[in-house]
Structure 1
Amino acid sequence: MTQFRLFTVLAALVGSIWASHAHASDYTIRFERHTAEDSLKKPQADTTFLSEEELALLVEYIPYEPDEVIQDRLSCIESDIPLVFNKSVRNHIDYFTVRNRKYTRTMISRENVYFPIYEKYLKKYNMPQDIKYLSIVESGLNPKAASWAGAVGPWQFIKSTGKEYGLNQDQYIDERMDIEKSTDAAMRFLSRLYRTFGDWELAMAAYNCGQGNVNKAIRRAGGGKKTFWEIYPYLPRETRNYIPSMTAVIYAMKYAPEHNIFSDSVLYAADYTHLNVNQALDLEKLAAELHIDTLALLALNPEIKQTKLPATIRNYKLRVPAQAAELLAAEQSCILLAAAPTPPPAKQTTPTEAPVMLASATQETAKDSLVQKAYTVQRGDNLFGIARKFGVSINEIKEWNNLTGSDIRVQDKLLVWQPAPEAAPVLLASAGNSTKKIANTPAKAKPTQSKAQPERVYHVQPGDTLWTISQRHEGVTVEKIKKLNKLKNSAIKPGQQLILS
């Protein structure tokens, strides 16, 4: 009996809605995953009527609005952009409010992330606030969007136009995907087009197909026709749909509730701080040091194409989650050192004929020509200072001592590997009670004179540190630079000459 009542209620509901909109097209009512038959197959609670939540799962109501209502709503929108209503615009409105309602829901969920940034630059260049909706038409509010034609980013810049407006592009960073920089560039580009045509619809059309194509359409239209709809037949096909799509997006976003379109997952921009980068950086290591997720760090910096930044980077403002600001302020130098990429191992060349030597006994454990030493952490110590003291990297100390972070305590014992002292040759007794040195130069042999190595000099650049310099030059350590240049501390300044070997 309960199942029969359920079917009756559902059928009555659907029939009532269908009858009230008999003139509507076949998309007035759309069933989702569940149907009346599915409901009959499932056991139901012993209740006569379905709750609103249960009905919402079974059916979605899509209102049908006549042309007069749509046109009236468009006329009520206060905008500096002409919002013309015609058959083409109506078709695009139906697309965003009926056929692809999911897309409109997604845009509603993302708008609070990007629109505040767009609005800031629109105000800066004194432009209509509704221009922000153009990014929905261009990229669907996706900073990593890429088209078949090579246009990239939220404002879909091609390479040449991006470079023209100061958006740098290389193997590590593509600023066409930088929300702030690409938005500033897009507003400057659109402002220039508006000054050329004196009309926002034509400016947006030129943004899509190029200024030359719009001028060509104006010439072909003749007779002083200079509005988008007057030159509409002479524009490229894609551009003929571009402005109607823009009008439809503005309408759909402003009147989504009237079309029963809501988003249940509204996103907001994450708070962040800036870290000024002037060195090679491994973003995965940095994320680990800051106790944040690597994906969260990359999401804040969509313009970064790889997880590593090169040593040549200068004054790059990396966005870092605000939660890490306090840790950065306290240990920025140590964190940056720990996040430096591990340099590739130096190539070892094996001599064709190595001299025969027997290592002398030592009380320290040898490890590939290194010896292990124990260091007791003193008050005021940190990993940066200890690494500098022994001429090693923070990462090496952490690896040798199985440390996951940079925290150490007084009296902690840290193991550090250091170069082993050269072994003295061992004398072996011969059978005839005489002795000889193994792998030793004969007494009468003339010592080989080595050629003098040319002196290597490095000119300090802005942003350089002894650590970054040592990482760029094979076989050079911080302690070696300080010793060769008689430096008492690590302070250096741009233009200073440093002897490296």
Structure 2
Amino acid sequence: MRALSVCFLLLFFGQSTLLFGQENDDPRTDLPRDTIQVVDTLMTTVNQGDFSSVELSTTTKDSVVFALKDDPMASRMDSLWLSELSNNDLYQELYTTVTDLDYKPVEYEELPTEVLKERLEAIDAKTPFNVEYNPQLESVIKYYLKNRRRSMGRLMARANYYFPMFEEALNRHEIPLELKYLAIVESALDPTAKSRVGATGLWQFMFTTGKIYDLDVSSYVDERSDPLMATEAACKYLKTLYNSFEDWDLALAAYNSGPGNVSKAIRRSGGYTNYWNIRGNLPRETAGYLPSFLATMYLFEYAEEHGFKPTEESTSYIATDTVKVKQLITLEQVSRYTNVPVEQLQFLNPSYFLGIIPVVKDEDYVLRLPIQAIGPFVANEDAIYGLATEEIAQREKPLPEFVAQDAKIRYRVRSGDYLGKIANKYGVRVSQIRRWNNLRSDNLRVGQRLTIYPRNPGRARTSSAATTTTNSQGAKVYTVKQGDSLWSIAQKFPGVSVENIKSWNDISGTALKPGMKLKVSKG
């Protein structure tokens, strides 16, 4: 049985190698490194007859769900990087920089003015934007070089994922590929970023503008945060603005402040149409918009010369794929059934801001997964949906009810509260509370009101003390229940992480069974 199951998985990856590259000596050369590692591991398993690294669980429908121990994607993307994917402090940092530029001269000996002029001239030769030297642009570039070294590494890591997606859409719409840098100025490449006035997503669409370009917002989904849909909408909007102003600099200004403000700035300046000549008549944020865009373009174009490197190796966009969802399912359930970390699923599927993928008539909602998880998911989707249905049926209330408008609560912050404590109380994630309340940090103040959509409306999560015992070594022991995952168990015990539970119980996979005993303290 196990040999047949492993052979099935090998067949899937074998077909993938043929799909991605048939003419190489090793047909797997074009596959992601993680996929190759999985295939190599399974080949060794088959050749040696040792199946200890593969766990199989058979459902009531006799379908097989795979759970690979020490998942290569999970081991590569450590907890710090997973946390970074949902962290929006970088967006706040960049937003503040754009609005507070003062253009004072900045000393930066590593970049002489003459060298900068030559480089800007080289950029100008290959882009339709007006990349001409002036002292104010020099000030912004050198300020970024001095103060953005850490943030540049983080931006480059995110860009490795998003830029191929942007470039494909921009090329298809026949507009400059350099517009990919606009998303950095707009959102710091954070698909969940939300401005003070409500603009949301990678391309910062307002609610009404998003509606114009078919970006829907519902209780489940905010399509302004969907990378593909928002990028398509941004391309259409930018193309419309360029057709109006026939100048890409002005089109960018109009994207930020609206075409009406740009038209008024042209009139107030006496009819000038060069961005730098009308900048004094634009809103303060828009006045710093194009300099920030051009400075960002310079930093990326000459990243190697200035020693910039990605801080982490990020997921490659081409190493992911989508599958249409056939039944309501949560990202937490997908994580449990595919062994893909829930934080990574949130990063790949940011438009599902409640962590729930619905099934709605006339809507085709999809789940994006690492490519090595697509095959096992599709092959076992009947079993996966069956498990999800059973779990939902056993919950206190139907899943749709706890995203309804009347299911939300207003929580008043008390002395001693912190986000982790509140999240644990209501069975939600810290990242969700931040997103629901547009929080830019984890700092709370006594009396502050928070909007929360509890996992179980009408009651907070029961105390974890009632579900634990203490063993002879003094460690707390938790009994696994139907529907539990390592992540959900860790959330029940403040200060306990998934890695803690794995270490204390000497386990490497994520598969759990009801009745299993797990240490939830060191003892």
TM-score by length of 1: 0.55
Structural mapping, 1:413-424, within 5 Å: none
Native 8 Å contact 2:348 2:369 kept in 1:
yes
Pair 1:117-2:165 in alignment: yes
Say whether the 8 Å CA contact 2:253–2:262 is kept in structure 1: yes
User: 1:298, 1:268 → 2: CA distance?
Assistant: 13
Structure 2 residue 332 is the aligned partner of structure 1 residue 332: no
Q: Which runs of 5+ in 2 are unaligned?
A: 1-103, 399-480, 484-509, 514-523
Matches within 5 A, 1:344-423: 344=395
Q: Contact 1:113–1:268 (CA<8 Å) still a contact in 2?
A: yes
Among 198, 219, 234, the residue aligned to 1:171? 219
Given the alignment, which residue of 297, 305, 316 partners 1:269?
316
2:243 paired residue number: 195
Name the structure 2 match of 1:180: 228
Which residue of structure 1 lines up, in the alignment, with residue 279 of structure 2?
Answer: 232
| Change in CA separation of 1:192 and 1:76 when aligned onto 2, cut-off 3 Å | same
Kindly indicate whether residue 122 of structure 2 is the aligned counterpart of residue 76 of structure 1.
yes
The unaligned stretches of length 5 or more in structure 1 are 1-24, 29-61, 348-397, 408-501
> Alpha-carbon deviations, 1:289-348, whole Å to 9, x = none?
22322222222101111123345464211112222222223222221121235135589x
Q: Given residue 298 of structure 2, which amino acid in structure 1 is its aligned partner?
A: Y
2:330·2:357 contact (CA, 8 Å) conserved in 1?
A: yes
Q: Aligned ranges for residues 206-221 of structure 1 at < 5 Å?
A: 206-221=254-269
CA contact (8 A) 2:106 2:142 kept: no
Q: Distance in 1 between matches of 2:314 and 2:322?
A: 22
- Counterparts of 1:226 and 1:329, CA distance in 2: 55
Verify the 8 A CA contact 1:201 1:243 in the aligned structure 2: yes
User: How far is the alpha carbon of 1:174 from its aligned partner?
Assistant: 0.8
Mapped partners of 1:156, 1:236: distance in 2: 17
Task: Encode CA deviations 1:150-205: one digit per residue, 9 max, x unaligned.
Answer: 11111111111111111111121111111111111101100000000000000000
- Answer yes or no: is 1:88 the counterpart of 2:136: yes
Q: 1:342: which partner in 2?
A: 392
Answer yes or no: is the 8 Å Cα contact 1:278–1:315 preserved in 2.
no
Output the CA distance in 1 between the equivalents of 2:153 and 2:147. 12
- Match for residue 286 of structure 1? 334
Task: Out of 179-188 and 302-311, give the one that drifted further.
Answer: 302-311
Tell me the distance in 2 between the aligned counterparts of 1:209 and 1:262.
32
Alignment partners' CA distance in 2, 1:236 and 1:266: 38
Give me the whole-angstrom Cα distance separating, in 2, the residues matched to 1:169 and 1:177: 10
Residue 110 of structure 2: aligned partner: 64
Would you say the 8 A contact 2:323–2:374 is kept in 1?
A: no
1:142 correspondence with 2:205:
no
Query: Partners in 1 of 2:482 and 2:288 — Cα distance?
Result: 59
**Displacement, 1:227?**
1.8
Aligned counterparts of 1:273 and 1:182: Cα–Cα separation in 2: 18
Change (3 A) 1:99 1:296: closer
How far, CA to CA, are the matches of 1:215 and 1:83 in structure 2?
22
Shift of the alpha carbon at 1:132? 0.7
| Offset at residue 282 of structure 1 (A) | 2.7
Residue identity opposite 1:242 in structure 2? Y
- Summarize the alignment of residues 417-456 of structure 1 with structure 2, pairs less than 5 Å apart: none
Q: 2:253, 2:290 within 8 Å by CA — same for their partners in 1? A: yes
Question: What is the one-letter code of the residue matched to 2:122?
Answer: C
Letter in 2 for 1:326: G
Q: Which amino acid aligns with 2:275?
A: F
* Structure 1 Cα separation of the partners of residues 353 and 284 of structure 2: 33
Q: Pairwise mapping of residues 449-488 of structure 1 onto structure 2 (< 5 A)? A: none
Aligned equivalent of 1:357? none
- Compared with structure 1, are the counterparts of its residues 150 and 74 closer, same or farther at alpha carbon in structure 2 (3 Å cutoff)? same
Q: Contact between 1:284 and 1:307, CA under 8 Å: does it hold in 2?
A: yes
Q: CA deviation at 1:125?
A: 0.6
3-state DSSP of counterpart to 2:191: coil
CA contact (8 A) 1:96 1:103 kept: no
CA distance in 2: counterparts of 1:26 and 1:164, whole angstroms: 42
1:252 to 299, 303, 306: 299
What one-letter code is carried by the residue in structure 1 that aligns with 2:117? Q
CA-based RMSD = 2.8
Q: CA deviation at 1:217?
A: 0.8
Structure with larger RCO (C-alpha < 8 A, sep 6+): 2
Alpha-carbon separation, structure 2, partners of 1:87 and 1:97? 15
Query: Alpha-carbon deviations, 1:394-440, whole Å to 9, x = none?
Result: xxxx959xxx9799xxxxxxxxxxxxxxxxxxxxxxxxxxxxxxxxx
Give how far 1:232 is off. 1.7
Contact persistence 2:105–2:139 (CA under 8 A):
no
Compare CA radii of gyration and give the structure with the larger one. 1
Structure 1 moving runs of 4+ over 4 Å: 25-28, 344-347, 404-407
The whole-number CA distance in structure 2 between the counterparts of 1:275 and 1:247 is 38
Q: Equivalent residue of 1:156, what SS?
A: coil
Q: Which residue among 356, 364, 371 is the counterpart of 1:322?
A: 371
| One-letter identity of the residue aligned with 1:244 | P
Greater fraction helix: 2
CA separation in 1, counterparts of 2:113 and 2:284? 24
The aligned length equals 297
> Per-residue displacement from partner, 1:328-374 (whole Å, max 9, x unpaired)?
23222221121235135589xxxxxxxxxxxxxxxxxxxxxxxxxxx
Alignment partner of 1:258: what SS? coil
The separation in 2 between residues aligned to 1:201 and 1:315, in whole angstroms, is 36
Q: Is the 8 A contact 2:106 2:143 kept in 1?
A: no
Distance 1:278 1:325, change over 3 A: closer
| Match of residue 289 from structure 2 | 242
